[in-house]
Structure 1
Amino acid sequence: MLYYALIFLAVAVISGIFGFSGIAGASAGIAQILFYLFLIFLIISVITGFVRRKP
């Protein structure tokens, strides 16, 4: 999922350089959503990892 967030971020930056504001805005929005989803899954994974380690 982080891979897709980075791909959309790269598309947004490249589109922004060329001046396609609509495409850049949409790509940046998708990248932001994917980034926050990845962050939530990471936090859940870390918490469940700590819960499972305790005897």
Structure 2
Amino acid sequence: MISNEQRAHDIAIALLQANGKELEPIEAYHRYVNSLLPILKEIDKDFPHGIKEHL
């Protein structure tokens, strides 16, 4: 099972890669954190026990 934290990280990284190519490293980190936390809160609300992967 992939944890909610890993899923939120993957989404935040994908958003940053799509929209942050021109950012300096510190600004990219700030944008990552500011994206990660709301995504994680939403995933935790929707899937409090995680999402089981289908194999």
Q: TM-score range by the shorter chain?
A: 0.3 to 0.5
TM-score normalised by length of structure 1: 0.45
| The structure with more radius of gyration | 1
- The higher-RCO structure (CA 8 Å, 6+ apart) is 2
- Structure with higher helix content: 1
